[in-house]
Amino acid sequence: MKKEIYIFSGLGADESVFQKLDFSGFETTFIKWIIPNENETIENYTSRILKQIKTTKPILIGLSFGGIIAVEVAKQIETEKVIIIASAKTKNEIPFYFRFAGQLGLHKLIPTQILKSANFITNWFFGTNSKFEEQLLKEILINTNPTFLKWAIDKIVKWDNLIQPKDILHIHGTNDKILPLYFVNCNLKIKKGGHLMTLNKSVEINKILNQKIKN
């Protein structure tokens, strides 16, 4: 019987960011982002996301913001394993300057059109390595719902979680510029991996996932 895994993509992204990963040996469900209610807490949002999970003790895989939500899911239900990629387990792994901006509300001053624009700065931050990745990032940003985008950024910079799931594996890239390795305590490091390393470091990540999920 194939193991069932539930996959949470990055902020506003869909399963396209996982297109180079091989999940053929597993029953996979890609969690769909839903539009948050006004002033909704991350806990309440997570409880609504949970309706998409039909398995007892699921295996969760989360990329970036998806990893944060996977951690929040594991606080509400029992899980077999949680694997986060280019993400954070607790608020202490969110860079202090993001949390400081959240305390002052500075993130709310950034116009949505700037957050959704793709340029050389966003390409540098996300660590794109090719025209294909640049185009995919551009499409993700364009297609991200602005209400969800603003809400999710607010939840990231104000995240107050200090609880780690029991069985969690944290994979992080040494070149991640959004969540620098300096701030996180990960289990496995991907050399020269950036925030989109599911695309350009897929060989290494595939090996890790196949080994860790099967064990």
Mean pLDDT of the chain, nearest integer: 92
Residue 12 has pLDDT above 80, yes or no: no
Q: What is the pLDDT of residue 48?
A: 98
Segment 8-12 mean pLDDT: 87
Amino acid 193: pLDDT:
95
Mean pLDDT, residues 56-76: 96
What's the mean pLDDT in 142-170?
Answer: 93
Kindly state the tokens that stand for 6: 């539930």
Q: Is the pLDDT of residue 197 over 90?
A: yes
Mean pLDDT throughout 24-51? 94
What share of the chain has pLDDT > 90, as a percent?
71
**How many domains, in total, are found in the chain?**
1
Average pLDDT of the residues in 176-201 = 95
In 3D, which of 203, 167, 182 has the Cα closest to residue 190? 203
Alpha-carbon torsion 81, 151, 122, 33, what sign? positive
pLDDT at 1 over 90: no
Domain around 207:
4-214
Place of tokens 């239900």: 77
The pLDDT confidence band at residue 50, using thresholds 50, 70 and 90, is: very high
Q: What average pLDDT does the segment 79-93 reach?
A: 97
- The per-residue pLDDT for 110 is 80
CATH code where residue 57 lies: 3.40.50.1820
Exposed, middle or buried, 50 (CB in 10 Å: 0-12/13-18/19+)?
Answer: middle
The reported pLDDT for the residue numbered 171 is 98
